Amino acid sequence: MLLQPMMCPRCGKPLNLEKHPDGGLWRCPQCSGVAANLTVLRRQLEEDVVRDFWRKAVDASEPSPHKCPSCSRALREFVAHHEDQSLRLDLCRQCQLMWFDPGELEVFPKVKKARPTDIDQQIALAQMRVGSEMQASTNNGGTDINFYVEVGLAVIMALLRLFLRH
């Protein structure tokens, strides 16, 4: 079975796959529009932005004159707002594929990813804090197991907060 190429909903040209660390984007070589799956967008854009796209496509959209690049069904058109801009975007609810005209994708805020050095630095700081607290407890004659459990839980919670923030 041969797969049909995805076609640009604006100019009808075959889309080219661009591979990125977060997943593939399909770009039109003629008009520079971009098709992106919601799964890929969740890795690239802030979570609330992608959630808002889906909510508006389901609750506040109208049929678009353009077809989905993947399944050829009519896209759903909705208005998305960011800062002082209002953009008319298109989404296929069946394929969970969005279409962005040139420059539209770049308007929305990207996910801020923690660099490994930042994470390593936070872990090292947490280890130093635990070490100094344990030393202080030992110097004060403390051998209470509850202290060590509390310190361990505090470290775990600090690490969880760090990872959930990023």
Q: What is the pLDDT of residues 8-63, one digit of tens each?
A: 999 999 999 999 888 899 999 999 999 999 999 998 898 889 999 999 988 988 99
124 vs 78, higher pLDDT: 78
Q: How far is CA 20 from the centre of its chain?
A: 13
* Predicted model pTM: 0.66
DSSP classification of residue 78: E
- What confidence score (pLDDT) does residue 1 get? 45
> What is the reported pLDDT for 60?
85
For the chain, the average pLDDT equals: 83
CB 50 within 8 A of CB 108: no
Q: Report which DSSP code applies to 93.
A: T
Contact at 8 Å (CB) between 102 and 32?
yes
Longest CA span, the chain = 77
Rounded average pLDDT over 144-153: 72
Query: SS3 of 65, please?
Result: strand
